[in-house]
């Protein structure tokens, strides 16, 4: 059975008390209304709020994730956060390879594979991002780009480890722009990714793989996007910063 996931990526937003308020509101709302049984919810606040978030979410159905993780195990890596540290704070997921990390922090495929391995070794599940730039789509290269991004990274994991990853397709031109991929564009790429997985790891792993869509996903377009057969939920940026929006997006992932 494929798990549906709605994950909120708060990026570098909110001060401490705002983060506390937002998470309190989201948890209260889920507590009151309940959460669709077949949808897992993950919140990825900035690192410095992870301890608070994981304490607050402890008795709730909400999982906590980080927005990055080091590829190194421990030691002299000033400013880095290891997967073991995350695990010790009950952080269950880590976003890896977000396009903003690739663009502004020079993260390479090799680093991303290292991060995925480090996370998995510590039972932190990667939400692994891939997606093409606008000129790449305009040149008709989007399938090749996404294929290479996967083949250079998590396709090198052994099947058991690969099986524990979540993939997020995030066309870079859709992130934070208000221009989402159409449901048809998302479906076409998700189907392509599932086929690649099928060819590399077999039918069972391909069928069970959760593939999220990310990029200007809001309460207005979530239902249509999530109703596509190969779209198994979303990685939500801007719209995860408002409780009412985020909760509506969670509901939209319901069967
Ligand atoms: P957005 O961001 O929803 O604000 O477009 C998505 C993401 O970057 O994960």
- pLDDT tens digit sequence for 51-75: 999 999 999 999 999 999 999 999 9
CATH of the domain at 203: 3.20.20.70
Partners of 8 in the β-ladder: 43, 236
Q: Answer whether residue 44 is part of any domain.
A: no
State the helix-helix crossing angle for 183-201 and 142-151, rounded to 10 degrees. Answer: 40
pLDDT of 211: 98
What pLDDT is attached to residue 95?
99
Ligand 1 geometric centre to CA of 73 (Å): 29
Of ligand 1's listed atoms, the one at least distance from the Cα of 9 is 9
The pLDDT confidence band at residue 172, using thresholds 50, 70 and 90, is very high
| Residue 81, token pair as written in the block | 């956060």
| Domain contains 159 | yes
With cut-offs at 50, 70 and 90, classify the pLDDT of residue 1: confident
**Residue 104, domain member (yes or no):** yes
pLDDT tens per residue, range 89-142: 999 999 999 999 999 999 999 999 999 999 999 999 999 999 999 999 999 999
Best mutation site among 95, 166, 226, 235 for ligand 1, i.e. most ligand atoms within 8 A of its Cβ? Answer: 235
Q: Are the C-beta atoms of residues 166 and 210 closer than 8 Å to each other?
A: yes
Q: What is the mean pLDDT of the chain?
A: 97
The answer to whether residue 46 sits within a structural domain is no
What is the distance between the alpha carbons of residues 241 and 245, in angstroms, rounded to a whole number?
8
Q: Which domain holds residue 144?
A: 69-238
Per-residue pLDDT at 255 exceeds 80: no
Residues 2-43 pLDDT 10s: 999 999 999 999 999 999 999 999 999 999 988 889 999 999
- Tokens 């903003």 identify what position? 100
Active site residue 170: yes
Out of 103, 217, 218, 248, mutate this one to test ligand 1's pocket (max ligand atoms within 8 Å of CB): namely: 217
Yes or no: say if 9 and 235 are a contact pair by the CB < 8 Å rule: yes
Residue 170 has pLDDT above 90, yes or no: yes
Q: List residues near ligand 1 (CB under 6 A).
A: 9, 170, 175-176, 214-217, 235-239
- The mean pLDDT value for 162-166 works out to 98
Residue 43 forms part of a structural domain = no
Are 233 and 5 a contacting pair, CB within 8 Å?
yes
* Distance of alpha carbon 15 from alpha carbon 20, whole angstroms: 9
Nearest to 143 by CA among 209, 192, 198: 192
Helix axes 16-33, 243-252, angle to 10 degrees: 40
Q: How confident is the model at residue 228 (pLDDT cuts 50, 70, 90)?
A: very high
* Closest ligand 1 atom to 214 CA: 6
- Would you say residue 57 lies in a domain? no
Averaged pLDDT, 178-188: 98
Going by CA atoms, what residue is nearest to atom 2 of ligand 1?
237
Active-site residue, selected from the candidate residues 100, 132, 170, 245? 170
Rounded to whole angstroms, the Cα distance separating 66 from 86 reads 8
User: Can you name the residues that pair with 166 across neighbouring β-strands?
Assistant: 127
Number of domains composing the chain: 1
Interval 184-197 mean pLDDT: 98
What does DSSP say about strands 4-9 and 211-214: parallel, antiparallel, or unpaired?
unpaired
Is residue 3 in a domain? Answer: no
Q: How far is the CA of 74 from the centre of ligand 1 (A)?
A: 30
The pLDDT of 185-213, averaged and rounded, is 98
The string of DSSP letters for 97-142 reads S-HHHHHHH---HHHHHHHHHHHHHTT-EEEEEE---HHHHHTT-H
Spacing, Cα 177 to ligand 1 middle (Å)? 9
- Domain for residue 48, yes or no? no
| Tokens linked to 251 | 């509901």
Contacts by residues 185-192 (CB-CB < 8 Å, ≥ 24 positions apart)? 186/213, 186/225, 186/228, 186/231, 187/228, 187/229, 187/230, 187/231, 189/142, 189/143, 189/146, 190/228, 190/230, 190/231, 191/229, 191/230, 192/143, 192/146, 192/147
């Amino acid at each position: 059975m494929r798990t549906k996931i709605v994950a909120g990526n708060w990026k570098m937003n909110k001060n401490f008390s705002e983060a506390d308020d937002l998470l309190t509101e989201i948890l209260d709302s889920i507590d009151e209304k309940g959460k669709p049984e077949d949808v897992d919810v993950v919140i990825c606040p900035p690192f410095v709020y992870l301890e608070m978030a994981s304490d607050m979410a402890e008795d709730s159905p909400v999982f906590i994730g980080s927005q990055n993780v080091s590829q190194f195990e421990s030691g002299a890596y000033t400013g880095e956060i290891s997967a073991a540290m995350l695990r010790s704070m009950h952080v269950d997921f880590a976003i890896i390879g977000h396009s903003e990390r690739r663009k502004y922090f020079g993260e390479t495929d090799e680093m991303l594979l290292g991060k995925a391995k480090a996370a998995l070794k510590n039972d932190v599940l990667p939400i692994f991002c891939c997606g093409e730039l606008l000129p790449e789509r305009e040149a008709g290269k989007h399938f090749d780009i996404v294929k290479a991004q996967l083949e250079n990274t998590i396709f090198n994991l052994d099947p058991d480890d690969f099986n524990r990853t979540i993939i997020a397709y995030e066309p870079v031109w859709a992130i934070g722009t208000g221009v989402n991929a159409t449901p048809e564009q998302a479906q076409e790429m998700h189907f392509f990714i599932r086929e690649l997985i099928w060819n590399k790891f077999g039918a069972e792993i391909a069928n069970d793989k959760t593939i999220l869509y990310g990029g200007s996903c809001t309460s207005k377009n979530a239902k249509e996007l999530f109703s596509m057969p190969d779209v198994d939920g979303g990685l939500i940026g801007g719209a995860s910063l408002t409780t009412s929006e985020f909760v509506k997006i969670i509901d939209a992932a319901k069967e």
